[in-house]
Homo-oligomer: A and B are copies of this chain.
Amino acid sequence: MANKIITISREFGSGGKYIGMLVAKKLGIPYYDKDIIEKIAEESGFVDDFIKRVSEYAPSKSIFAYSFVGRGANGESIEDKIFAIQTKVIKELAEKGPCVIVGRSADYILREMDPLNVFIYASHKAKVRRTTSFKGVSEKEAEKLIYETDKKRSINYKYYTGRDWGARENYTVMLNSTDLGVEKTAEFIAQLYKQEN
């Protein structure tokens, strides 16, 4: 195995995004997540007129907020189009060189490049604590957010990859950020990457 790319999948509230940033920093390689990939897609010209037109009618400025809005002329949903665009962006980024990609089914999209696929999870208690403090919401709202976000991730992942989100066979390592702590989890991934490359 010679992993050039690290993909990080994570439970909502597990600190996976922050861990991804730390890993990239430790290794001195670029970090990409949903927001960055969306920005690149918008700048790249991959976003076509149809999606732009739909997004004119919506309140947010992000084109990618319009999942499930409707279907294009050829029967393709907006979400399908967005997935196709993100796939294109992710493949281009990965071909540029080593990087860390958080989310966006990158483990599946880059499967032929044999990435180091990491899954980060945490105790329910820790996820609630993290969500209440970082999102400024109540415990009840945090629980709802955790449940709904991961449910959506699971459905999307299944739909686009045919795989089960969080099922161990899809990952090289799965790490409990509550037991290890976010700093050590990141250090651990960085060490593993260095050993392999």
Chain A residues proximal to chain B, CB less than 8 Å: 1, 119, 121, 123, 166, 168-169, 171-176, 179-181, 184, 187-188, 191-192, 195-196
Instruction: Flag if A179 contacts B168 (CB, 8 Å).
Output: no
Least distance between A124 CB and chain B CB atoms (Å): 8
Residue of B nearest to A188 (CB): B192
Q: A172 — which chain B residues lie within 8 A by C-beta?
A: 175-176, 179-180
Distance to closest chain B CB from A36 (angstroms): 26
For the complex of A and B, list the 9 residue pairs with the smallest distance between their C-beta atoms, beginning with the closest.
Answer: A174-B174, A172-B179, A121-B168, A172-B176, A173-B175, A168-B174, A1-B179, A188-B192, A172-B180
Which residue of chain B is the closest to A180 with respect to CB atoms? B172
Q: Are B180 and A171 in contact (CB under 8 A)?
A: no
Q: Complex formed: what's the CA distance from A34 to B166 in Å?
A: 30
